[in-house]
Structure 1
Amino acid sequence: MTKDRMTVMERVAGWVGGNLRRTGIAAAALLMGGSLATAEELKPVTIVLPGSSAMAWYPMIVAQQQGFFAEEGLEVTIKSLDGSGAVLQAMAAGRAEFGAPGPGPALNAVARGADVKFFYNLFSRGLFMLAGDRNDGITSAEGLRGKQIGVSTADGAEVSFARSALGSVGVQPDEYKFVTIGQEGMAVTAFQRDTIHAFAASFTGIAVLKDRGVDVFDLTPEGLDLFGNGLAVRGDIYRDSPEMVAGFAKAVHKATLWGMKNPDGVLKDGETYNPQEVERAAYARALLETVNQQYMPVGANKLGYLPESGWDAWHKSLLSTGELDAPIEDLSVVYTNEFVENLGDE
């Protein structure tokens, strides 16, 4: 392990250390302790994720596999979709109680009348970057004027992020073009053929690009206050079953702390969701390390906290790029920290 990687792991371990008390995780042991509902009493719910990476979304997988959801009386089904737009559509159609969309698409959805509520921040340090190929000779976001930028989905969180990033340095939406190319592996070919000159990618996508030989150059402008995807719930569930939301948040919170302390356990549980990702242990471990770094709270914020400044930044950016036609007068309709405030660090 390199010195830099050790520093990250030590920082994560130092933050978690002393805060996580190990509890019995076998269902039988929990049942004997009387802290779990019986299988017949578990409430079935579904969460939809905007991608299939086991490492990126490990808190839900760990909470499922380690019995943390069951402790809260929940039987959770985890489904993978293609992007935040699909996540929000599934929630609106009643096919899922919970989802993990990006804040940009969520604000757009609420402005159009969607009834969803963010309640937990996963990627407090952001999920995306604007990646270029060093061999193209483009060294800044300003250099993307007149260029084509690859995105995985036409209505995903990466689109809102890219518009915000480019808008922050004065590059307007009519000065570039998005090209929907699908999964990250296709971006490699697109770079090689000069179909795109940048790719709005999650850090998992960046890992794929590097693994496939692209000399990645970060074109993301500095100073963006844009956090990444988090957990959202349908509005009717939030209003009618707040105890369910509280239990979901508690289980995910506990799983995140457990995962930061037990990377080997995360890799083992991840095999149940995406064995292809985990079978390359070194790659999966490096990816998990980056995930934990992005999950770390900013400043004095609590794990899972949704910062007002971040929502203001997203809102202002979407208005400036024209993604929002009119301001949302009260951003508190979009998110709440009430469930995070009741969580400790154990």
Structure 2
Amino acid sequence: MKKLLALALTLSLALCLLAGCGQTKPASDPAAPQEGQDKELEKIIFTEPVRGYHWAPAYLAQTLGYFEEEGLEAEFQTVTGGDPAAPMFAGEAQFTLAGIEMALMTNEMGQGCKILVSPTQKYPYQLIGANEKYSTMESLKGGVIAGGQGATSAPQAFSRTCIQAVGMTPDEDVSVVSMASSAYAAAIQAGEIQAAVSTNPWSAKQLLDNGGVVIVDGTDEQEIKEMIGSSAYELFAIITTDKFIQSNPETVQKAVNAMAKAMKWMETATPQQIVEKLLPLFEGAEEELLYDATYDQEHKIANFTGYHTEEGFKAGVEMTKLSGGIKTDMTADKVYDESFLDKAWETIGK
């Protein structure tokens, strides 16, 4: 088993590509109501690789009016074709929605940044076989897994970890290819892939509704612990630069206060209530949001404190280091600044 776990810890779960900067596409983000607001709100910009449910506290802080309460107004920009963090490092945005691996890798590269809030506590991915014929890892030998776009993407890393966890070798026993999730169904029908990684509950549902079978469930605590050595994995993150923390600590505190309020609200809200408040930023995605929100609550994926765990951090460091994403050991103080969370919870109460 030790050998198995060592093999499983050879891949990082990088969420964002660290290549050149792509173009940013402003989202249609309605401003929170400003009745009674005497002074102008300070504008803050979040960049994101996609509009994703698991960063809900950032979105809800805007739609619930918590940013406004703190004197802020947020805009969310989806970056396509490049690195979502690049505008943040260039000073064109203040925050980015990304993954722990991005923070690890950019810090080692000398681009100092800190994770302020970790909005999830479990790994939400699933590896799904095309049909009953492909219901185990062993049945995929000689086949192909579709694992997201880019060799360093989190879905590809998850695919490779699943392969190594059963003693097989990626790209020898089982191939892993780059593919957008929108192309999964057609590729399965054409026999081009035998399995695919779903990165959220809704995408998993689409595969399962078409005859797919779950092979590995990342939300299963025991199953994922056997693979990566930890039942906790705070994959999703809300990040800012060291430079912005140093120059604008009050703005950072206000932003974290608002997101802490959103997490506190989320903890007691129903899936229907969460969806209602998210819809202004997810136009036309009501069915998908409701499914994700319900699955999230049933599987306890959300993190309502925003803090990381030592177990999850160590797993992230080892996986990123052993895969070549980073070359040196890293301590949590280089990656997290949760002092703003401390102050937020002191103010609003948990």
Q: If the length of structure 2 is used for normalisation, what is the TM-score? A: 0.75
Measured against aligned partners, the alpha-carbon deviations of 1:219-239 in whole angstroms (never above 9, x if no partner) come to 255313233211111221122
Residues 67-78 of structure 1 correspond to what in structure 2 (within 5 A)? 67-78=65-76
- Pair 1:59-2:57 in alignment: yes
Measured against aligned partners, the alpha-carbon deviations of 1:201-236 in whole angstroms (never above 9, x if no partner) come to 21242133235x242313255313233211111221
Please tell me the residue identity of whatever aligns with 1:72: E
TM superposition shift of 1:79? 1.9
Measured against aligned partners, the alpha-carbon deviations of 1:260-287 in whole angstroms (never above 9, x if no partner) come to 4153343223332222211x3xx43222
Partner SS, residue 275 of structure 1? coil
Who is 1:119 aligned against?
Answer: 116
TM superposition shift of 1:150? 1.4
Residues 215-230 of structure 1 correspond to what in structure 2 (within 5 A)? 215-220=212-217, 221-223=223-225, 224=228, 225=230, 226-230=233-237
Residues 180-191 of structure 1 correspond to what in structure 2 (within 5 A)? 180-182=178-180, 184-191=181-188
Who is 1:290 aligned against?
Answer: 295
TM superposition shift of 1:243? 2.3
TM superposition shift of 1:67? 1.1
Please tell me the residue identity of whatever aligns with 1:74: L
Alignment partners' CA distance in 2, 1:136 and 1:112: 44
Alignment partners' CA distance in 2, 1:95 and 1:111: 22
When residues 268 and 209 of structure 1 are mapped into structure 2, their CA distance, relative to the original with a 3 A threshold, is same
Who is 2:252 aligned against?
Answer: 245
- Pair 1:107-2:107 in alignment: no
Please tell me the residue identity of whatever aligns with 1:45: I
**Which of 309, 312, 335 is 2:311 aligned to?**
309
Alignment partners' CA distance in 2, 1:208 and 1:153: 19
The answer as to whether partners of 2:135 and 2:213 remain within 8 angstroms in 1 is: no
Who is 2:28 aligned against?
Answer: none
Alignment partners' CA distance in 2, 1:82 and 1:168: 32
Residues 201-216 of structure 1 correspond to what in structure 2 (within 5 A)? 201-203=198-200, 204-211=202-209, 213-216=210-213
Please tell me the residue identity of whatever aligns with 1:71: E
Please tell me the residue identity of whatever aligns with 1:309: E
Partner SS, residue 276 of structure 1? coil
Please tell me the residue identity of whatever aligns with 2:319: S
- Pair 1:276-2:272 in alignment: no
Alignment partners' CA distance in 1, 2:168 and 2:339: 37
The answer as to whether partners of 1:128 and 1:228 remain within 8 angstroms in 2 is: no
Please tell me the residue identity of whatever aligns with 1:288: A
Who is 1:318 aligned against?
Answer: 320
The answer as to whether partners of 1:125 and 1:228 remain within 8 angstroms in 2 is: yes
TM superposition shift of 1:122? 1.0
TM superposition shift of 1:103? 1.3
Unaligned runs of 5+ in 2: 1-31, 218-222
Please tell me the residue identity of whatever aligns with 2:65: G
Residues 75-94 of structure 1 correspond to what in structure 2 (within 5 A)? 75-82=73-80, 86-94=83-91
Partner SS, residue 47 of structure 1? strand
The answer as to whether partners of 1:45 and 1:77 remain within 8 angstroms in 2 is: yes
Who is 1:254 aligned against?
Answer: 261
The answer as to whether partners of 1:206 and 1:216 remain within 8 angstroms in 2 is: no
Measured against aligned partners, the alpha-carbon deviations of 1:43-98 in whole angstroms (never above 9, x if no partner) come to 21111223224x44332222112210111221110122359x73223323333211
TM superposition shift of 1:255? 1.5
Partner SS, residue 87 of structure 1? coil
Partner SS, residue 224 of structure 2? coil
Please tell me the residue identity of whatever aligns with 1:181: M
RMSD across aligned positions (CA): 2.8
Number of residues paired by the alignment? 301
**Which of 94, 97, 101 is 2:94 aligned to?**
97
Partner SS, residue 130 of structure 1? strand
The answer as to whether partners of 2:160 and 2:176 remain within 8 angstroms in 1 is: no
Who is 2:176 aligned against?
Answer: 178
Please tell me the residue identity of whatever aligns with 1:66: L
Q: If the length of structure 1 is used for normalisation, what is the TM-score? A: 0.76
Unaligned runs of 5+ in 1: 1-24, 32-36
- Pair 1:150-2:146 in alignment: yes
